Amino acid sequence: MITMYDIIHNKREGKELSKDEIDFFVNGYVKDEIPDYQASALLMAIYFKGLSKKETFLLTDAMRCSGDIVDLSSIPGVKVDKHSTGGVGDKTTLIVGPLAASCGISVAKMSGRGLGFTGGTIDKLEAIPGFKTSITSQDFIKTVKTIGMSVIGQTAHIAPADKKLYALRDVTATVENIGLISGSIMSKKLAAGSDAIVLDVKCGSGAFMKDFESALILAEYMVEIGCNAGKKTAALITDMNQPLGYAVGNALEVKEAIEVLKNNGPKDLTELSLQLAAHMVYLGEKAATIEEAYQMVRNHLENGAALDKFSQFVKAQGGNNNVIDDYSILPAASFKLPVKAFQDGFIEKIHAESIGKAALLTGAGRKKKEDYIDLSAGIILNKKIGEKVSKGDILAEIHGNNLDSINEAEMIVKDAYSISHIKPMVEKLVKALVTINNVKIY
């Protein structure tokens, strides 16, 4: 007979938990048959003793099976999903979705809202007037069949065990464990029904994983989980030592994403979007090699096909697609405060997490899930790492509707910038590609 006492004891002693033990715990906790104090004890034991890759897969699968599993079988072709582990200014879904869909990939994506300093795709899309992120499953599938893509909010019925366990991890200081992080992310991705998954694992000051080694371990765990579940899975480890692009904040990021789709966007955001979309096209079997896929998505960026797909996507989900030519349709903040350089030199560092926290102060993010979010607020960076500045140049511009919050954010933004007399090296944007049993470091 399996008991929670024995499961906690076994993990405390460093033993590998069986499938039956893991299923007993997950199913019992979802049904409120296991109290928080026992679940907390097990999470703490896992935090210190870790999970093997086998245990991580079994935990992921148990959480995946704890709720609805989306059936996308009626959509023809290979369905490909993309997931980012979260970063400051990361609006790639708004770009890679249309890029991949314009190449014939079916993108049926469930995304989340922002919590903390990392923005959520659903919040960004809702900055577009009329855009609906809550539609029926029938309309969701119909939209993918018709135009090749749809993005909706994740329902409470997808991996409910993860939602409940994450809330407990959050208050018991057990979030930062590779096995638990991997299981949390992949349980939702596997339940979402796609055939292939491209992961963007962020690494740096603005990411959950601060160093390359941790990001690599996380990527390897998630790729192995995906492949063992029968999903073609690959992960790119990408730089988050400074914000991605120049815009941080929901409406501001929508505008920047559209600029990328017009082929006028920042180089880093454009390049990463092309790389991610190329891997989606490759895993979706629309190209024989990554190089062929990359050329395909670049062509669709340059010839306007991806921008046209974005317009179709916005219109299909009730949004005003005139936003493509008229940014005044987007929410705009009442106040804009410039942050100026305090000396001559080169931008040596931009602490991405600090920029994210400053954006949170403006109202662009949430401290708690129920917090109101100001879709117009955020920060526009004028200077990035390696760029030359003179004293008095504008480093960034803070957008918001509360002057007290803006003034508080100004000090954080100013402190986030480091200026040196020596021009620094810029980190590689894409650091590695992780596939099953293979790591390619760039």
Domains and their CATH numbers in the chain: 4-50 (1.20.970.10), 80-325+430-441 (3.40.1030.10), 332-420 (3.90.1170.30)
Instruction: Report H helices in 192-320.
Output: 212-228, 250-261, 267-283, 290-302, 305-316
User: Worst-scoring range by mean pLDDT, 164-168, 267-271, 379-383?
Assistant: 164-168
Cα–Cα distance for residue pair 382/164, rounded to 1 Å: 41
Asked whether the beta carbons of 277 and 96 are under 8 A apart, the reply is yes
Q: Which of 280, 286, 316 is nearest to 194 (CA)?
A: 280
DSSP, residue by residue, 297-359 = HHHHHHTSHHHHHHHHHHHHTT--GGGGT-GGGS---SEEEEEE-SSSEEEEEE-HHHHHHHH
Hey, which residues are catalytic here?
83, 162, 169, 184, 188
Q: Enumerate residues 6+ apart whose C-beta is below 8 A from 419.
A: 341, 342, 343, 344, 345, 346, 347, 348, 389
Q: Per residue in 324-374, pLDDT tens?
A: 999 999 999 999 999 999 999 999 999 999 999 999 999 888 776 667 889
Averaged confidence pLDDT in the chain: 94
Q: Per residue in 104-153, pLDDT tens?
A: 999 999 887 765 666 689 999 999 999 999 998 899 999 999 999 999 98
Q: Per residue in 125-135, pLDDT tens?
A: 999 999 999 99
pTM of the entire structure? 0.93
Q: Which of 56, 43, 58, 54 is nearest to 11 (CA)?
A: 43
Q: Is 211 exposed, middle or buried (0-12, 13-18, 19+ CB in 10 A)?
A: exposed
Return the pLDDT at 115: 58
Say what angle helices 19-30 and 160-171 make with each other, to 10 degrees.
80
Q: Per residue in 312-325, pLDDT tens?
A: 999 999 999 999 99
Q: Per residue in 19-29, pLDDT tens?
A: 999 999 999 99
Return the pLDDT at 313: 97
Dihedral sign from CA coordinates of 267, 273, 274, 276 = positive
Sheet of 417-420, strands arranged across? 388-389, 345-350, 417-420
Distances (CA, A) of 367 to 4, 199, 321, 426: 33, 25, 31, 31
User: Radius of gyration (Cα) for the chain, nearest Å?
Assistant: 22
Return the pLDDT at 208: 86
> Span 416-434, mean pLDDT?
95
Cα–Cα distance for residue pair 345/231, rounded to 1 Å: 48
In this structure, the strands spanning 394-400 and 335-340 are: antiparallel
What DSSP state is assigned to residue 68?
A: B
Backbone angles phi, psi at 91, to 5 degrees: -120, 30
Return the pLDDT at 90: 93
> Span 33-37, mean pLDDT?
96
Backbone angles phi, psi at 79, to 5 degrees: -90, 125
Distances (CA, A) of 416 to 247, 357, 419: 15, 10, 10
Q: Per residue in 201-223, pLDDT tens?
A: 999 998 889 999 999 999 999 99
- Single-letter code of the amino acid located at 97: G
Distances (CA, A) of 102 to 83, 150, 258, 311, 408: 19, 13, 15, 11, 43
